[in-house]
Amino acid sequence: MALPQHSDYLIIGAGIHGLSTAYHLALELKAKGQGDGRNILVVDKASIGAGASGIACGVVRNNYFQPAMRELMAQCVDVWESDAKAYSYHSVGYMQISPESMFEDVASIAAQQKEIGYESTFIEGEAASMEYMKGIFHDWQAKGITSVLHEKKGGYANNTKALYGLAGKAEAEGVRIVSGVEVTGFHSDASGAIKSVETTKGNIECGQLVIAPGPWAKQFWDMLELPKTVDIKAADGTIHKDIDTWVYWSLQEGTLGVDPEIQKTNDGQMPPVIHVDSNSPLYSDVDGSLVTDEMWGIYYKPDFHFNGVQGGAAPFKVPTNPDAVQVDPYGVDSPEFIVGDDFAHMWTSALAHCQKRFEGQTPKYNNEPSGGIGAFTPDSFPVFDTFKQNCYFIADSNHGYKMIGVGKLVAQELVRETSSLLEPFRFSRYAEGKLHPVSNSPFPWS
């Protein structure tokens, strides 16, 4: 497809956010009589789902301690459920299984899910939690668990199938998706608005620009000459000055190469996604040595797309400057930033800690690219906001894949009105001190 020289709406990035925005924007324009998908162009330097969205674990959940995140995710789950077939979405549910140190946090999530009508079951106490889990998995054996929050909605989607399903829906509405177009710069008019985008295939004039860059957020942020640091107002009024706008974390995910059917429940059904946080010492499933006596967390699910049991663990901060060594966050040039050397040992040992069926399975771990680098905001929560007058920036802070509904809300903001669900995620929250609460989870995005 030839690259157009002009587009009313130009979207950079053919991942979950860019494609969702394109599809829903086409519907909004049609409904308002302001055009249709032919007014929309999506460009990507590689291809559909070539970045983070293409290797995402695909978990879809509402389980957030932060009210704004929880309300936003309820909307996103609704979008997943709106066309489960096209999105290759599996509504199997999600379980947050936690120790006493997280009890109050999880109880709060359960109470607020009830308030917004999001169906879940909350189990309290160590004995009751063990009984509940054994009722689902006969071989459940994780100790020290004092609560189980079982979300009946949510689940996971097959990542690339979902993206191509979304792209197909967008193209059916007239949206043009052009691969192999790398953005190299921006040109502004006298008012500061972006008038054209410079690419390796020529310049594209645009009326409205949407940037959905995933882990390449900092690169685009810098091209737009947006602030490299930010001052953050804490709850007590203290101003923390010159905090880096972007922080990189190495995402820890992988696959155990076993038959996905191994994880079926007692009644022969495909199970919910399992997320376990624990304070119990974790011992090696290989030699019995201590892996860690600090708090740890994992998540996992059977997945026929990955052909095994797939999941991950808490990420770690990248200790060096990725700009100096990392050309492509998901490329072969930076394998050291895919997963840590000890991830497979820790994760497979944690699987065995939780369920007896995984004991002795460590040698079946698939040593292949997964995870990757995530570009996180200062507080690890997304930024959805307009800059340079006509540039809408979708910075998901690695909450991305599950948030398919963000594109629908962005489309509504571009055509209709401000979204109350996106309002808590403006960049101004740092200066205003409108920060999201933080839980006791070992995961930075919780």
Predicted local confidence at residue 441, as pLDDT: 73
pLDDT value, residue 50: 87
User: What's phi and psi for 288, nearest 5 deg?
Assistant: 80, 0
pLDDT of 335: 34
Amino acid 333: pLDDT: 37
Q: Which two tokens stand for residue 101?
A: 């140190």
Which has the closest alpha carbon to 313: 288, 291, 290? 291
Q: Six-digit token pair at 280?
A: 């119990």
CATH class of 1-89+154-227+379-446: alpha beta
- The pLDDT score that the predictor gives to residue 249 is 85
Q: Name the residue ranges covered by the structural domains of the chain.
A: 1-89+154-227+379-446
Q: Parallel, antiparallel, or unpaired: how do β-strands 308-317 and 155-157 relate?
A: unpaired
How remote is the C-alpha of 106 from its chain's centroid? 20
pLDDT score of 325: 39
- The dihedrals phi and psi of 187, each to the nearest 5 degrees, come to -120, 130
Looking at residue 331, its pLDDT comes to 42
Query: Given this model, what pLDDT does residue 341 score?
Result: 61
Q: For position 414, what pLDDT does the model report?
A: 98
Assigned token pair, 169: 């829906």
Mean pLDDT by 10 residues, the chain (446 residues): 90 98 98 96 95 84 89 95 96 96 94 92 98 98 97 92 97 98 97 97 97 94 96 93 91 91 97 96 97 95 89 78 44 42 91 98 81 85 97 93 96 96 98 87 67
Task: Supply the pLDDT for residue 381.
Answer: 94
